[in-house]
Structure formats: structure tokens, C-alpha cells
Amino acid sequence: MEQKDITEWTDMLDMSREAEKVQQLLQSRDYPAIRRALLPLPPASVADILLELPEPQSAVVFRLLPKGDAAMAFSYLPKAEQKALIHSFTDTEVLDLVEQMHVDDSVDFLEELPANVVNRILRLSAPETRNLLNRYMEMPEGSAGSIMTAEFITLDGGLSASRAIAQMRGGKRRAAAGHMVYITGEGRKLEGILSLYDLLMAKEDTVLRDLLDKAPVTVHTDTPEEEVLDLFRHHALSVMAVVDKENRIVGVITADDILELADREASEDAELMAAMHPMEDGYLETSVWQHAKNRLPWLLFLLLSGMLNGVILGGFEATFMLFPILITFIPMLTDTGGNAGSQSSTLVIRGLAMGDLSLRDAWHVLRKELAVSVLVGVGVALATFLRAYTMEGGGLGVALTVSLGLLFIVIMSKLLGGILPILAKKVGMDPALMAAPLVTTVVDALGLIVYFSVAKVFLNL
């Protein structure tokens, strides 16, 4: 292979040009050329090309690939496209796919199919495969068990390094990314892990038990996936073993699934922070109705609490009717309060999610937010003072009212933005719920009361 090809394929996010080539080859029925073009590509790029092809053509190209390559590419396809592609497949063809994919990908795929199709496929499969798939499909969503896969190799701790390698070479089991081997002892209990590299580098007669890492980080099948993610972060892992109650290894979690999980958690948090029910699918795949259902309830909830502000404002009608200029500052005051609070709540929510902050930092956060809010508050209050003092209809009284009101609003927003996420976590709620929208609504109410109370003092009302 020439060097040119390697660098060419580094830009693999846009495969449309390659898909065109494949289409031309399809028209001239040059199937061997298609196979030659696709074989050296990484599976995700083959999936990209399949995505670009119209439906009957993608199935033709898919069938040109060797079973293993086809299954790997298939596991990179979005769920909707997986279902579309197998439309014309026989049950045996689907079974081949299921058996060739990693178990976690097979299970994800099967979970999208109608129950009768799944049953048909399971009935066709070998008893061992069937048991494995059934066991994996039963794992509760959001648990370590639901993201693990079954491609791992176990070796008895009493084996010598050379015997272990010989046994691996004789075995049929595949290994997923990460390339650890799992060393077991009595009752198939996990004794430790050993990297393939250390196994390869070991003296031939060394016993595995003397080589292994005795305290690997493991989780149970029912460990929440957020905890799994935290452990991967904390220990900078590339793979992790999942064990059952008897400490027997039942699966492994690989780095690619962890990156996906981290991305999903970040998106969920961002969506909660923007006052939405998190999406299950991508933006484009989610229907208009579902989008509306995710967004309306929160908007209504915030609307109702926002109406409280209207009531408060109504109570100050006498004040603002005397000084209508005060009204023109309301949007600026509430927006700045919202922005200041959102800055603080975002930092604290991210800090809690990443493990940089914990419940015991509450006082530290409050003290810091107080200091920061005074600095920042004085900054924006000065700017506002100058504006209100110099504008038509303004003057010292108005300028003092607006700038002091703003200073107070900024301090309050930042204190609430800093502490509400920590309090939420303390009572077991998701801190991300305490983001800008909720803080804004609370701060608006308090801020308006303070603003008009200050006005009464400075404007002698």
C-alpha cells in the first residue's frame, strides 16, 4: 500500500466522494473493484459510504463485503439505517450479523427490532449465543451491565505465561479493544488483570498470578453508568471489568462506549440546564411532537412562576407610574440577573458533574461567589450609573436606584446560582435542573422587590 492512501483516509468524515465512486462501479457491475475499494477502509468509513447510497444499492454493496467486515461496518450505522438495511435480509443473514458483531452492539441492534423478529433470530441461534444475548438484553438501562460487552479472555491464575499464550491461541474467544486478559482463580472468581503487553513480555515460566495487577478497578452489573464514567475519569482507564455478586467477570466496558457515555451525559446536562426534558435520539431524528413534548412542560412551569413576578410588579404600580423611566430598566435588570446567575450555576453544575466540586465545598463556593459577585456587580453597576445619570429623565436618584438595585441583583443571582445546584445534589436532585431558567425566575422576583424598595428610598416615594 502506498503512503498516499493513509493520509488520504485521515479525512474520513466526508465519504460522499467515495460513495460516488462506488455508485459508478455499481453501474458498471464491477463488484470485485468495489470490494477492493472498501476492504482497506476503517469500518466507520464503510458505514459512511453505505449511508450515502440509496437503499437497494446499499444492500448490494453490503453483501459484497466479507461477513466480519460487513458486521463491523453495520455496528457503526445509526439505528434507523440498520433497520432499513436488513429489510430485505433473510433471518439467517440477520443471525450472521448478530453473531459477528460485538455482543453490546448486537444487543443494541436487537432491542430496536420487533419482538417477534428477535424471537425468531434467537430461536435460530446457537444455545450459547442465545443465552448470552438474553442475559445482556435483561440488563437494566443506565447500568454498567447495559454498556458492557462480552469480548474478553479469561485465563487461570495458575498458568505459566507460555501456557497461557498457547491456550489463548487455541481458543476461539475474541478480545475487544483494550487488550487486557482477566485472571481467574477458584470458582472462576476474578483475581486480577494483566495487559497483553505484560503477558507477552513475561518470562515463559512465570505464573500469571505473580504478574497480574491485583486491584483492578471493577464495577458490578448494576453499578450506575455515571459511576462507571467517574471511575474511568479518575483512574484514566482504557477498559474496565464488570463482575457479578460472586466477583466473577461477566463483561468488559471499553473506552469507546465511555466516550459516548460522557458525550451523552454532557448533552443531557446541557438540555436540563436549558429547561428541557433530555432527548432520546438526535435532533433531526426526534419528531416535532416529541420536541414540543420535551420543551413545553418546562416553559409552562417557568411561565407560571414568572407570573408571580407580574403580581409583584403590580404591587409597585404607584411607584412606577410616578417614575416611568424606572420601567425602561426592567429588562436590563432581569437579563443581567439571569446572565450573572447563569454564569455561576453553570460553573458549579459542571464542577459537580466532573467531580471537581462536592457537597463539602458549599461554603467555599458561597464565599467565592460573594467575592466575585461584589467585583462584577460593582463593574456593571458603575456602567449603569453613568448611563442612568446622563440620560434624559435620569439624574442622581434614578441612577442610584438602578445601579444599587443591579448590584444587589448580581450578588443575589451569583449566590443563588452557586448554591442551588449544590443543594439540589444534597437532596438527591439533578444539579443541572438548578440552572439559568430557575435561578432567573427566582432572582427576578426578589430583584424587582429590591429595585422598587430602593426606589422608594432614593426617590422619596
We find the least distance from the C-beta atom of residue 301 to its own copies, in angstroms, to be 10
Identify which of residues 42 and 140 has a Cβ nearer to its own copies in the complex.
42
We find the least distance from the C-beta atom of residue 27 to its own copies, in angstroms, to be 25
Is 125 near its own copies (CB under 8 A)? no
Identify which of residues 118 and 252 has a Cβ nearer to its own copies in the complex.
252
| CA–CA–CA angle 77, 80, 84 (5° rounding) | 90
* Three cell numbers, residue 313: 410588579
Give me the amino acid identity at 166: A
Which of 80, 321, 322, 429 binds its own copies (CB under 8 A)? It is 321
Site string for its own copies, 137-166 (x = CB under 8 A): ----------------------------x-
Candidate segments 120-128, 135-143, 284-292, 419-427, binder of its own copies by CB under 8 A = 284-292
Please say whether the beta carbons of 348 and 414 come within 8 A.
no
> Where do we find the cell 466526508?
14
Identify which of residues 49 and 95 has a Cβ nearer to its own copies in the complex.
49
Candidate segments 81-89, 93-101, 118-126, 293-301, binder of its own copies by CB under 8 A = 293-301
We find the least distance from the C-beta atom of residue 120 to its own copies, in angstroms, to be 29
Contacts of 193 (CB under 8 A, 6+ apart): 180, 181, 182, 183, 212, 213, 216, 241
Is 274 near its own copies (CB under 8 A)? yes
Is 322 near its own copies (CB under 8 A)? no
Identify which of residues 92 and 167 has a Cβ nearer to its own copies in the complex.
167
Footprint on residues 66-105 left by its own copies (CB under 8 A): 76
Which of 80, 126, 300, 359 binds its own copies (CB under 8 A)? It is 300
| Pairing of β 180-184 and β 218-220 | unpaired
Q: Is 193 helix (H, G, I), strand (E, B) or coil?
A: strand
Q: Is 249 helix (H, G, I), strand (E, B) or coil?
A: strand
Q: Is 248 helix (H, G, I), strand (E, B) or coil?
A: strand
Is 375 near its own copies (CB under 8 A)? yes
Please say whether the beta carbons of 441 and 305 come within 8 A.
yes
We find the least distance from the C-beta atom of residue 236 to its own copies, in angstroms, to be 4
Is 325 near its own copies (CB under 8 A)? yes
* Three cell numbers, residue 196: 497483553
Candidate segments 19-27, 135-143, 193-201, 451-459, binder of its own copies by CB under 8 A = 193-201
Is 383 near its own copies (CB under 8 A)? yes
Backbone phi, psi, residue 125, to 5°: -80, 160
Footprint on residues 244-273 left by its own copies (CB under 8 A): 247, 254-256, 258-260, 262-263, 266-267, 269-271, 273
Identify which of residues 28 and 287 has a Cβ nearer to its own copies in the complex.
287
Is 428 near its own copies (CB under 8 A)? no
Identify which of residues 24 and 328 has a Cβ nearer to its own copies in the complex.
328
We find the least distance from the C-beta atom of residue 193 to its own copies, in angstroms, to be 10
We find the least distance from the C-beta atom of residue 208 to its own copies, in angstroms, to be 13
Q: Is 125 helix (H, G, I), strand (E, B) or coil?
A: coil
Give the total of residues touching its own copies (CB under 8 A). Answer: 142
Is 412 near its own copies (CB under 8 A)? no
